[in-house]
Amino acid sequence: MRDLYFVKGHCGWDVLSLLLADEVPAAQQLATALKVLDPPVSGGLEVGLLSRTSNPGELRLRITDSTTRQWLAMCGGMTQVVGKALIETALRERLAIDVSQPVVELRLVTDACIIPIRIEIENGCATRVTTQMDSYLELTYRLGVREVSIDGVRGIEAGEYLVLHLDDLNARHPDLDFTRRDPGPQLRVVNSLLEAHRQKHGDPLYSNAILYDSRPEGGGQFRVFPRFLDATAAAIPYEFQCGTGTIALAAALAHEGALASDTFTLEWGSQHTTPDPYGIRTSLVGVGRQSRRLISASFSHSVIEIAIEGRVRV
């Protein structure tokens, strides 16, 4: 049993926990993180282990996933919670973060790539965390951005994600409401498409879908509905925010010629079909483009909170 420093937060409804990697021997980090994920701690969907590197302004971030129960290459929502925690918890001192200026810029070294984050500070609080996802965007294009048809439904494959417009889903299934997340025929259709998408690639990572339309309920440009085959994420009752899915959607929208501006706002879910006590949660997305291909992409989420800070014995 170890007594460890522990932070738990969320990005939307994506609940995550953070540990200090230096408090756990390297050979035991994965097993320890899995204990934090499991009851009685119930650390959320993922656990991140943070440590300093030899380079100034750089932190190592390793992520453990509750679905695969292995190391996860990258999670956009995790970077948002990290940015919040580095300013508003004791991680600030433990990792020697200089908060004397109104903006802190850091690089997070993940298993997939290096992710710069920009943290805006006001009165000791992180008011906005912007995650620069250029490295993940490169990965998305290496995997491919292309039009596909699965079971008669047109879509865009963007990296590991299957991106589906609600109009294309309704053209094939006109009587179903795909904004609903509760069990029913609409969810069975999406899960069937995801299963076909995964089998096509022969890889369990290809089990993520982003549904979207251009009929916002608030001041955004698109409504977005993440859908996942894995049981843990699928059990969450709200359409929580997804950072890597944001980049996949941006690449798909650019491929479709559907971006009117290099800055746009995504609305997550629907207040009509799945009411959220936070109201309409949003992501502000910024991109750089060359024709219909993105050359840069960043995002920031509207709801990031620290729920618990203390110590945990595992």
176-218 residue pLDDT tens: 999 998 889 999 999 999 999 999 999 888 889 999 999 999 9
Those residues with Cβ within 8 angstroms of residue 123's Cβ, 6 or more apart along the chain or in another chain: none
Residues 309 and 169 grouped into a single domain: no
Residues 88 and 149 grouped into a single domain: no
Residues 297 and 307 grouped into a single domain: no
Residues 117 and 157 grouped into a single domain: no
Residues 156 and 121 grouped into a single domain: no
Name the pTM for this structure: 0.93
Residues 195 and 100 grouped into a single domain: no
Q: Kindly report the CATH number assigned to the domain that includes residue 236.
A: 3.10.310.10
- Element (DSSP H or E) covering residue 103: strand 103-109
Residues 156 and 290 grouped into a single domain: yes
Beta strand pairing call for 281-290 and 263-268: antiparallel
| pLDDT at site 33 | 96
Residue range of the domain that includes 287: 138-301
Parts of the chain with a pLDDT under 70: none
Residue pair 294/251 in contact by the 8 Å Cβ criterion: yes
| pLDDT at site 102 | 97
Our count of domains for the chain comes to: 2
Burial code (b: 16+ CB inside 10 Å, e: under 16) for 91-107 equals bbebbebebeeeebebb
